[in-house]
Structure 1
Amino acid sequence: MTARTDLSVTQGAALSVGAVLGTGLISLPALAAEAAGPASLVAWLALIVLSAPLAWTFAALGARYPDAGGVATYAGMAFGPRVAAAVGWTFYFAVPLGAPVAVAFTGGYVSDVLGGGRVTELATFLVIVGTAYVMNWFGLRISGRVQVVLSISLVTMLVVTVLAALPHLRREHLTPFAPHGWSGIGAAAALLVWGFAGWEALSSLSGEYRNPRRDVPRATLIAVAVVGVLYLAVATVSVLALGPALAGSRAPLADLLAIGLGGPVRTLTAVIAVVLTLGAVNAYFAGSSRLGVALADEGALPARVFGGRHRSLTFIFLGGIAAALMPLDLHTAALLVTGCFTLVYVIGTAAALRLLPPGWSRLTAGVAFAAVVGLLWLNGPTALLSLVIAGGSLVYQWIRVRSGQPVSPGR
């Protein structure tokens, strides 16, 4: 169990908001509008509503079983070490696949300023992931205070963007409301999972609160409210201010600031996007490289390839470069990653149904479970990758057991 560090409700809520308000928001409104048109607002609202039971489920788990292991720990408690390892695999292998997607969002802003299209976006990717790789190789950290500043910068940019765009909202931009049919809403919702990944951090932080049973639910309510308001506000003004141009935009926040404020806002937005993305990629490289080592130590991954922080880190770095060079459009690549996130949520909420006592929390977990299963289905064929990864973990563990090398249950 994690030693407590007297995390307050306000600090916990701020960390949770920072975990969920990822850099994907700088381009998600455009991707969702491309999939569903103005009807993407329905998908945004649906994901915000889903956030409440999903976040509450992980908060209930964290309050009852405070532990830094998060979903993997709860999966192990409910279903055993093999399922826990499958959760670890699904998250670990999603990181190198997701790095090019995260940086592609930012690359759109950089190419919007410098030009160069795909070449500039690829160069931006190499600079950001290369910097994160070097920083983690030498054990350099972006401090917690800097991470908080980055989160505040993102929130500030979102608020300024919304306020600047308000005078330019046009009701006629809501028609046609669903140019791609109502099925487009499901496609948009599957994409938007990217922007809502992070609620599992609530359970991972639970052991650090002064009083988990009291403080985790309070921090959760604050975080859900803040995230919901910001997401819906940005999505709404994006649709109403940019109209049809939103679907083809590579830098929607820059477009909104440009029509609202004018001046060199595109350059400023690009700089902020790069800094935010570097912070996010650095954090993911640091956490996932250690996850790979932990999985290798427990026998859930081959130690020759993933044992040791540098080996695990190098795999993520090279895997990210390989994923960036794959001939996948941004939409498909994002769906492959969100499929992995969604499967982790499916396993996490299923574990909650077994671990939480009868009552309101278990009922909420049931609602969350049904919702994320639906999202996994909406993900379509791309969800198969997450199932293949989880299945690969189970096969690998079965082979080890047959060869007399069982997987350790870990924590």
Structure 2
Amino acid sequence: MKRLSLAHGTALYVGAVLGTGVIALPALAAEVSGPASLLAWVLLVVASAPLAFAFAALGSRYPDAGGVSTYARLAFGPRAASIVGWCFFFAVPPGASAAALFVGAYLEAAVGGGRITVAVAAAAMIAVVGAANAFGVRLSGRVQFGLTLLLVTFLLVAVVLSAPHMRTDNLTPFAPHGWLAIGPTAALLVWSFVGWEAITHLTAEFRHPARDVPRATAAAVVLVGVLYLAIAFAVITVLGPAAGASDAPLGEVLAVAVGGDARLLAAGAAILLTFGAINAYFAGGAKLGAALGRDGAFPAWLGQGSSAGEVPRRSLGVMVGGVTIGLCAVLASGVGARVLVLVTTGLFVTVYAVGVAAAVKLLPRRSTAWWTAVAAMVIVLVLAVLTGRYLVWAALVTSGALLHERFRARRAAEADPSMSHSG
């Protein structure tokens, strides 16, 4: 039964996009380009609109739980669908690792302890969420919605309480690292706008997909854009030059506004929000891995748990292992979460490239939706250039997907020699 209303769809959209990045990326962006990072935020808000509407157009015309993977298959065949699935799956380990490090930084800002606190908190978060998923524990839709509401409330409270402490003097010098630094900052901020494709998996659940999906998209673009810009502006104007040095910027903003104890409140909110986000990563990613194993896009061994109600423990184990490796590598090298964010960005830029290319092919030519998809393709190509060397991991994952497809086709031909002569 179709049950998603316009309001519910808008809430799901906001929850999918407004994730853990907002608690850390304002500081990471300020570190790269100072107050000029505000321009990067504006650019990403504007650029996200064509992406969001292109996926909304696909979702309203082809409502299917497969989302971007389905569109890729319809437009370009199974190889493209396999690339999308692989990139989504392998985006979870670096993405979840970065999110866990974000919450570790907030806890360290509240209680101290340095890198040990960050490491223990991040590892504990991954272990708890991994164990919960291994035993089939799932957060209900209402709990996930509540966590999203908590995030929005927390952000609004932080902005309102910090308003009296905002100083426009902190906007100068505006571009301390040069104007060209805005480009790398924009690539970093892609993390904050990942999620526009997520709603495509639920478009079949809308009561009126053709009408409500575009409306929900428009409302979410405005809400998410306003919140991101407000938080980034608050972090920079309240903390000034110290903004880029903070690993827990919202905690520091609240500490300035209402006192040091507010860091504990910020840490508590970060823990709850990150738990919800990583739970969603693991639950969805593990199920995706099992489905890919079932369908042949991954080794068949990973197909265990793909049916409804089953727990995909093998896929989950691979995923948790990848997160653990990512965490250990980052903690040992001391490079911080920024590398993980950019690696994840490269994978999602690849997914977006395939998705909007599918939109250009599938949508009615020269329609408004088609021109929107063309604009989205230009934006994705620019983001790919800005992501630069961090596309290497995405290229390796894509190569793995194509090699596996080729290997699978060869095995199928060997099993059925008549296939090698078909065509």
Give the TM-score of the pair, scaled to structure 1: 0.96
**Paired residue for 1:220?**
217
**Paired residue for 1:409?**
none
CA distance in 2, matches of 1:223, 1:22: 13
Match among 21, 24, 41 for residue 21 of structure 2: 24
Task: Give the AA of the match of 2:197.
Answer: E
2:341 aligned with 1:334: yes
**Paired residue for 1:404?**
412
CA distance in 2, matches of 1:78, 1:352: 8
Cα offset for 1:216? 0.6
Taking the TM superposition and a 5 Å limit, the aligned residue runs for 1:279-298 are 279-298=276-295
**In terms of mean alpha carbon deviation, does 325-334 or 337-346 score higher?**
325-334
Task: Give the AA of the match of 2:325.
Answer: A
**Paired residue for 1:11?**
8
Cα offset for 1:67? 0.8
**Paired residue for 1:317?**
320
Task: Give the AA of the match of 1:209.
Answer: F
**Paired residue for 2:143?**
146
TM-aligned CA distance change 1:28 to 1:277, over 3 Å: same
Decide whether the 8 Å contact of 2:24 with 2:247 is kept in 1.
yes
Cα offset for 1:205? 1.7
Cα offset for 1:68? 1.3
Decide whether the 8 Å contact of 1:202 with 1:220 is kept in 2.
no
CA distance in 2, matches of 1:321, 1:307: 22
CA distance in 2, matches of 1:272, 1:168: 22
CA distance in 2, matches of 1:305, 1:147: 27
Decide whether the 8 Å contact of 2:294 with 2:302 is kept in 1.
no
Cα offset for 1:55? 0.6
Match among 137, 162, 167 for residue 164 of structure 2: 167
Task: Give the AA of the match of 1:382.
Answer: Y
CA distance in 2, matches of 1:405, 1:259: 67
Match among 230, 245, 250 for residue 242 of structure 2: 245
Taking the TM superposition and a 5 Å limit, the aligned residue runs for 1:185-196 are 185-196=182-193
Decide whether the 8 Å contact of 1:238 with 1:256 is kept in 2.
yes
2:367 aligned with 1:349: no
Give CA deviations for 1:330-370 in whole Å, capped at 9, x if unaligned. 22221111111111111100100001002100000111111
Task: Give the AA of the match of 1:167.
Answer: P
Decide whether the 8 Å contact of 1:55 with 1:202 is kept in 2.
no
Aligned length, in residue pairs:
403
Task: Give the AA of the match of 1:365.
Answer: A
Cα offset for 1:202? 2.5
Decide whether the 8 Å contact of 1:21 with 1:196 is kept in 2.
yes
Taking the TM superposition and a 5 Å limit, the aligned residue runs for 1:2-401 are 4-262=1-259, 264-305=261-302, 307-308=304-305, 309-326=312-329, 327=333, 328-358=335-365, 359-401=367-409
Cα offset for 1:58? 0.6
Give CA deviations for 1:124-174 in whole Å, capped at 9, x if unaligned. 112111111111111111111011110000000100111111111111111
Cα offset for 1:305? 4.9
Task: Give the AA of the match of 1:110.
Answer: L
Cα offset for 1:261? 1.6
CA distance in 2, matches of 1:271, 1:174: 30
Percent identity for Structure 1 against Structure 2: 50
Task: Give the AA of the match of 1:162.
Answer: V
Decide whether the 8 Å contact of 2:289 with 2:302 is kept in 1.
no
SS of the residue corresponding to residue 77 of structure 1 reads helix
Give CA deviations for 1:102-128 in whole Å, capped at 9, x if unaligned. 111111100111212221111111211
Cα offset for 1:263? 5.2
Cα offset for 1:306? 5.8
CA distance in 2, matches of 1:361, 1:336: 30
Cα offset for 1:304? 2.6
CA distance in 2, matches of 1:178, 1:339: 26
SS of the residue corresponding to residue 364 of structure 2 reads coil
Decide whether the 8 Å contact of 2:294 with 2:303 is kept in 1.
no
CA distance in 1, matches of 2:413, 2:337: 40
Task: Give the AA of the match of 1:150.
Answer: L
Task: Give the AA of the match of 2:345.
Answer: T
